[in-house]
């Protein structure tokens, strides 16, 4: 894409009161715009990153054999009364229809997916299976000071699984753990993300969170020095030993919860009478699991982990473009000509290129490139041409390198 066509611009300023590093950088670089506290627009650059994350997650969900669906945000009050959460869930947005009918704006979808599945499932033969969606969630957050880490409106991937018994749930749950590690690894957070024991609520001893260590984190976790599992502070009192290896030494860290997985068991199948006939002809309540990842939060976490004083450093897998091509303004027509050539050639080979063809100074272009944070910067200037080629630099490295045009194409399209 030609940068001159991009309707957004980088900014020196960001909205007052925006104290989080992720939102400051994402707003200044033109990835997101703040509409109000906890509510953001995804701009072209931000949507590109968001979709890359979405596609990575979708691939891992499909590998699990899960089926994608799309459930509504407008949800009948009756469904929420059935589980008792109409009154107990503090962050539920409520809407009144023209007829006076009350509805919830979905913060999650157990109340919808359970009666939905009930319509199709009768026998143990119909189990196990899992459905997932990417869907806008609404949560009336009291504090929304963490940029896109804690939104009032955000896209979530929510996966729900349905089983005949706990053994089947346990097996699938382990597979989801693996899928989640694949996802966090693919988006660049492998080293910093820990499987963390957290409270299971009323229906299970533990649940599991995936916590990414960063100073921006709102959670405190204790990482076991022996096995690298972690415990959330909320249950640290209950157990002084690591529940996995028995280790007793822990490192305290601030962390962001980037994913969570729950064994719901019959918590939602019970109120909706979601049951099947088992092999013996007996009625059995379906056993459920649920598994979430907030995409905005994951995007924000990547920015918290990958930034320096100049801007963002996107991992290649989620970068909005792979190459930032910079044409340094020059009287020499050869510069523009070469830049156009490189642009055409790289795009033809399927690379995503942001081509800075704007009529602004080289200094401004370099500063913007650092702020936006595309992994490879390719500069075409009189100087680079005189040295026989183009200048290539990784965003994460200080040193640049002169390459011949053919060499560049080869390296960048491998």
Q: Is residue 53 within the footprint of a second copy (CB under 8 A)?
A: no
Cβ closer to a second copy: 42 or 326? Answer: 42
Which one-letter DSSP state was computed for residue 2? B
Residue in the structure block whose two tokens are 């099947």 = 276
Give, as ranges, the residues between 146 and 205 that touch a second copy (CB under 8 A). 152-153
CB 283 within 8 A of CB 275: yes
The CA distance from 50 to 42, in Å, is 8
Of 21, 44, 244, 270, which lies in the binding site for a second copy, with binding defined by CB under 8 A? 44
Window of 66-74, 229-237, 300-308, 327-335 that interacts with a second copy by CB under 8 A: 66-74
Binding string, residues 219-238; x marks residues near a second copy by CB under 8 A: --------------------
Which one-letter DSSP state was computed for residue 286? P
Handedness of CA 177, 181, 186, 188 (dihedral sign): positive
In the bound complex, what is the minimum distance in angstroms from residue 14's beta carbon to a second copy? 11
How many residues of this chain interact with a second copy, rule: CB under 8 A? Answer: 50
Q: Is residue 114 within the footprint of a second copy (CB under 8 A)?
A: no
Of 14, 21, 24, 47, which lies in the binding site for a second copy, with binding defined by CB under 8 A? 47
Window of 71-79, 249-257, 315-323, 387-395 that interacts with a second copy by CB under 8 A: 71-79
Burial of residue 391, with CB atoms counted within 10 A of its CB: 0-12 exposed, 13-18 middle, 19 or more buried: buried
Interhelix angle 21-28/295-305, nearest 10 degrees? 90
Handedness of CA 289, 294, 297, 298 (dihedral sign): positive
Window of 115-123, 270-278, 345-353, 386-394 that interacts with a second copy by CB under 8 A: 115-123
CB 81 within 8 A of CB 88: no
Window of 33-41, 80-88, 286-294, 328-336 that interacts with a second copy by CB under 8 A: 33-41
Q: Residue 220 pairs with which residues in a beta bridge?
A: 254
In the bound complex, what is the minimum distance in angstroms from residue 166's beta carbon to a second copy? 20
In the bound complex, what is the minimum distance in angstroms from residue 376's beta carbon to a second copy? 22
Distance of CA 404 to the CA centre of its chain: 37
In the bound complex, what is the minimum distance in angstroms from residue 115's beta carbon to a second copy? 9
CB 257 within 8 A of CB 209: yes
Q: Is residue 360 within the footprint of a second copy (CB under 8 A)?
A: no
Residue in the structure block whose two tokens are 């979530």 = 156
Q: Is residue 117 within the footprint of a second copy (CB under 8 A)?
A: yes
Q: Is residue 12 within the footprint of a second copy (CB under 8 A)?
A: no
Window of 42-50, 187-195, 235-243, 261-269 that interacts with a second copy by CB under 8 A: 42-50
Window of 38-46, 203-211, 314-322, 344-352 that interacts with a second copy by CB under 8 A: 38-46
Of 6, 89, 362, 367, which lies in the binding site for a second copy, with binding defined by CB under 8 A? 6
CB 318 within 8 A of CB 303: no
Q: Report phi then psi at 408, rounded to 5.
A: -55, -50
Q: How far is CA 109 from CA 69, 85, 286, 345, in A?
A: 12, 12, 17, 46
Of 97, 309, 331, 397, which lies in the binding site for a second copy, with binding defined by CB under 8 A? 97
Q: Which two tokens stand for residue 142?
A: 């009291």
The CA distance from 198 to 287, in Å, is 20
Residue in the structure block whose two tokens are 């500063």 = 367
The CA distance from 195 to 207, in Å, is 10
Of 73, 108, 114, 146, which lies in the binding site for a second copy, with binding defined by CB under 8 A? 73
In the bound complex, what is the minimum distance in angstroms from residue 130's beta carbon to a second copy? 9
Window of 89-97, 187-195, 246-254, 348-356 that interacts with a second copy by CB under 8 A: 89-97
Q: Is residue 102 within the footprint of a second copy (CB under 8 A)?
A: no
Q: What is the dihedral of CA 296, 316, 323, 39, to 10 degrees?
A: 0
- Sites of contact with a second copy (CB under 8 A): 5-9, 33, 35-36, 39-44, 47, 50, 65, 67-76, 91, 93-98, 105, 112, 116-117, 119-121, 126, 129, 131, 136, 138, 140, 142, 152-153
């Amino acid at each position: 894409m030609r940068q001159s066509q991009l309707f957004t611009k980088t900014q020196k300023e960001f909205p007052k009161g925006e104290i989080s590093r992720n939102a400051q950088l994402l707003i200044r670089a033109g990835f997101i715009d703040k509409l109000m506290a906890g509510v953001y627009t995804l701009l072209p650059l931000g949507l590109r990153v968001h979709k890359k994350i979405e596609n990575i997650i979708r691939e891992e969900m499909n590998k699990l054999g899960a089926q994608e669906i799309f459930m509504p945000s407008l949800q009948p009050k009756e469904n929420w009364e059935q589980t008792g959460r109409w009154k107990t869930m503090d962050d539920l947005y409520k809407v009144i229809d023209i007829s006076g009918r009350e509805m919830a704006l979905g913060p999650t979808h157990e109340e919808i997916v359970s009666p939905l599945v009930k319509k199709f499932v009768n026998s143990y033969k119909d189990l196990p299976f899992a459905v997932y969606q990417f869907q806008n969630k609404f949560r009336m957050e009291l504090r929304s000071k963490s940029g896109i880490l804690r939104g009032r409106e955000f896209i979530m991937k929510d996966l729900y699984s349905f089983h005949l018994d706990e053994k089947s749930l346990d097996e699938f749950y382990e597979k989801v753990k693996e899928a989640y590690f694949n996802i966090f690894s693919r988006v660049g957070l492998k080293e910093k993300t820990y499987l963390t024991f957290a409270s299971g609520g009323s229906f299970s001893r533990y649940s599991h969170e995936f916590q990414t260590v960063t100073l921006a984190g709102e959670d405190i976790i204790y990482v076991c020095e022996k096995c690298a599992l972690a415990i959330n502070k909320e249950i640290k009192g209950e157990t002084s030993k690591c529940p996995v290896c028995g280790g007793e030494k822990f490192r305290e860290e601030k962390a962001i919860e980037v994913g969570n997985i729950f064994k719901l068991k019959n918590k939602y199948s019970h109120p909706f009478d979601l049951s099947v006939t088992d092999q013996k002809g007996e009625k059995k309540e379906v056993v459920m699991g649920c598994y979430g990842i907030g995409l905005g939060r994951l995007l924000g976490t990547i920015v918290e982990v990958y930034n320096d004083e100049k801007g963002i450093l996107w991992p290649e897998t989620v970068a909005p473009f792979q190459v930032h091509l910079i044409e340094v303004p020059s009287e020499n027509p050869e510069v523009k000509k070469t830049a156009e050539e490189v642009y055409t050639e790289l795009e033809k080979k399927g690379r995503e290129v942001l081509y800075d063809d704007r009529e602004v100074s080289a200094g401004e272009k370099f500063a913007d490139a650092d702020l936006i944070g595309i992994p490879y910067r390719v500069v075409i200037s009189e100087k680079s041409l005189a040295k026989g080629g183009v200048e290539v630099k990784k965003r994460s490295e200080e040193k640049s390198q002169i390459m011949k045009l053919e060499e560049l194409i080869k390296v960048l399209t491998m």
